[in-house]
Every structure is written in C-alpha cells, then in structure tokens.
Amino acid sequence: MSESLILAIETSCDETSVAVVQDGREILSNIVASQIKSHMRFGGVVPEVASRHHVEQITQVIDMALEESGHGVADMDAIAVTQGPGLVGALLVGVTAGKSLAMVYNKPLLAVNHLAGHIYASQLVKPLKFPLMALIVSGGHTELVYMKEEFSFEIIGETQDDAVGEAYDKVGRILDLPYPAGKYLDELAGKGNSEAYAIPRAMIHEDNFDFSFSGMKSAVMNTVHNAKQRGDEIVPEDLAASFQAAAVEVLVEKASKALREHPEVSQFILAGGVAANSGLRGELSTRLATEFPDVELIIPPLKLCGDNAAMIGASAHHMYADKDFSELDINAIPGLMLGE
Ligand code: KG4
Ligand code: ZN
C-alpha cells in the first residue's frame, strides 16, 4: 500500500473535526470541537445551529489540526472530506472547506462516506483482515455490513425504524437525562436491575439481520405513563437497565447470527457512537469469545467511536491508493449510501 499524508475534515453532524492521518494508520492530530452544549437545551441537534457552528469553527480547527501534526497543507498528499450521509447544511461546510483547500493547494480531493469512516476507525487500532463483519451503531444508523474485501460494503441488515442511538436518546428524554443521553443511560443502566421491567426484543427470532428499536422506546414510554396513572414511582436505574438489556441482546444476537452464516469472517468490528456502550462492549466480547473464538473483535477506543475526522482520514487512505479522486464540483450528499 502506498504512503499517504492526508488532511481529513468531518462536519456531518454536531462535531467539527479535522485530522492529519499518515498511511491510514497513524493519527498525527485529531481535533474534535463538539457543539453538544449548544444543542443540549433543545434536546437534539438543530441543523441550522449546527451549520452556523461549523462555519464559525472550521478554520480554527483546521489550523489546530495542522499545528498539532507539525505539517502545513503543502505537505499533504490529499484532502479528504465527509460527503455524506449527514445534515446537508453541516456537510456543506466541510465539503466547501475541503474543496477550497484542494483547489488552492492543488491537491487531490477524496470524498469519503461517513459510515465507511466509522468502520475504518478500527484501522487506526489494527490492520483490517477480510472478509470482515461490521456492526455500525450510531445516532442515525444501525447496520450490519459484510465486507468481502477492501472497500466492498454489503449491508446485510439494518434498522426498520429508529437507529439504536436515536432510541437511546429518546428513552433518555423520557427519563429526563441530558442530550445526547446514550452515555447517561448507559451509566444509569449499570446501577439497575435489567429484569425489573418487560421490554420487547423486537425481531430477535426473525430469520434476517434487521433490527427494530422503536417498540423498545414505546415500551419505556408506556411503562412510565402507566406508572404515573397508577401513582406509582418508576425506578429509573431499573428501567434504563431493562431497556439496555433488550437493545444489547438484539444487537448481539443478530451479530452472532451474521457470524454463524459467514464462517469465513475473521474480524468483527463494532463501530459508531453507541460502540461506547459498556453493556454492548461487554456482551459482544463475551459472546464472541465463547461462540466465535477465532474471530478477532475490534472495538475502537471511545474517542474514535464517536464522530471524528481521523476515521475519515483512515478511510481516505484506500481511496488515495486507488486514485479514487473527486472533481472539485462535488456536492454534499445527505442520503449517501455505503458503497455508492
Ligand atoms: O456516531 P455518533 O457520534 O454520531 C452519529 O453519527 O450519529 O453517535 C452518537 C450516538 C448518540 O445517539 C449517543 O447517545 C450515542 O451515540 N451514544 C451512546 C453511548 N455513547 C454515545 N449510546 C449508548 N451508550 C453509550 N455509552
Ligand atoms: Zn457518526
């Protein structure tokens, strides 16, 4: 594989992030400016607010990433940017910045898929071995992806309604937790009894790799509602633990089903913001160790699970090696699919 020094930009949602990545493996810098505080009071990401923050921060974040890496733009082999999926106004800020740098410094431009980025975050931990299976769990996505080889993405299963992170955030809202609630709900779940409340394991026995999380969220909502009507107190820790156990069980079950049907797989990657979940990390490690001892599990460290530009740089390395360059007239694609 050829060598590369890539400046990568990620602005698909609510983090303005810029990284310098060497050979798709080594992070020279990875600055993540989070906007969470600005969105918290609205209980979710407000697209207009996100775009404005990206515009205000992007130049400074680029400068910080370059300074920390010890390089200038002129040293780069290419400029990589997240093209989609994501919020159109947010993506546009990064795409515009990437195109401008590519034009001014006469560098090739690489348009990266955000979800490919989440998967390739694992490459910053270990070399990837194919065929592999990846489970992407984030605020907007829940997908099981089979990769026969480098950059070949086959989505074998996905959520039919809410993404798992979205369900976490909605359940968190019901329990009055701050946004984004995943982390807080995870902490709360650690202190509760997971058998206290009945939460359905939707689609768990169905003969496919798809998921459904909206019923779990509704079950939490109904539990709280019914308790209020009866004048009963709910135990938030127990409800959080019961919800987490259901969500994790379904994810782990479908992941093992995918591995049973693809015995040729040698690595399993857990990707996306919800990969930070302690219950999911624990259950998945245990299940793989007992049922699939030959499959290597890669779960990136927390800072590489959430949105960050280093994962975009890792993914871009392969595009650079394949000379998969983009024209300077590319646009943001909010609904970009994996493999497109
Ligand atoms: O990948 P990400 O940073 O952004 C998207 O591309 O969506 O994922 C953010 C999601 C949010 O829904 C957040 O609540 C969830 O990841 N999350 C968690 C945990 N940490 C973050 N969900 C469950 N448990 C966690 N520990
Ligand atoms: Zn993401």
- Residue 221's contacts (CB-CB under 8 Å, 6 or more residues apart) are 174
Q: Is 219 exposed, middle or buried (0-12, 13-18, 19+ CB in 10 A)?
A: buried
- Tokens for 328? 């300077």
State pTM to two decimals. 0.94
d(CA 85, CA 336): 5
Cα of 226 to ligand 2 centre, how many Å?
A: 35
Q: Would you say 309 and 8 are in contact if contact means Cβ atoms under 8 Å apart?
A: yes
Nearest-CA residue for ligand 1 atom 7 is 139
Q: Supply the pLDDT for residue 132.
A: 98
Ligand lying nearest the CA atom of residue 139: 1
d(CA 322, CA 190): 45
Q: Supply the pLDDT for residue 2.
A: 66
Q: Supply the pLDDT for residue 41.
A: 74
Where does ligand 1 bind, in terms of residues with CB under 6 Å?
13, 138-140, 165, 168-169, 180-183, 186, 272-274, 276-277, 306-307
Q: Supply the pLDDT for residue 19.
A: 98
Cα of 231 to ligand 2 centre, how many Å?
A: 40
- Residue 209's contacts (CB-CB under 8 Å, 6 or more residues apart) are 144, 156, 157, 254, 257, 258
Q: Residues with beta carbon < 5 A to ion ligand 2?
A: 138, 307
Q: What are the pLDDT digits (tens) for 154-166?
A: 999 999 999 999 9
Cα of 340 to ligand 1 centre, how many Å?
A: 24
How many CB atoms are closer than 10 A to CB 56? 14
- In a structure prediction context, what are the per-residue pLDDT tens digits for the chain, which is 340 residues long? 569 999 999 999 889 999 999 999 999 999 998 877 777 777 778 788 788 989 999 999 999 999 999 999 999 999 999 999 999 999 999 999 999 999 999 999 999 999 999 999 999 999 999 999 999 999 999 999 999 999 999 999 999 999 999 999 999 999 999 989 999 999 999 999 999 999 999 999 899 999 999 999 999 999 999 999 999 999 999 999 999 999 999 999 999 999 999 999 999 999 999 999 999 999 999 999 999 999 999 999 999 999 999 999 999 999 999 999 999 999 999 999 998 7
Choose the residue to mutate in 113, 138, 175, 299 for probing ligand 1, maximizing ligand atoms within 8 Å of C-beta.
Answer: 138
Q: Supply the pLDDT for residue 1.
A: 53
Cα of 164 to ligand 1 centre, how many Å?
A: 9
Cα of 163 to ligand 2 centre, how many Å?
A: 12
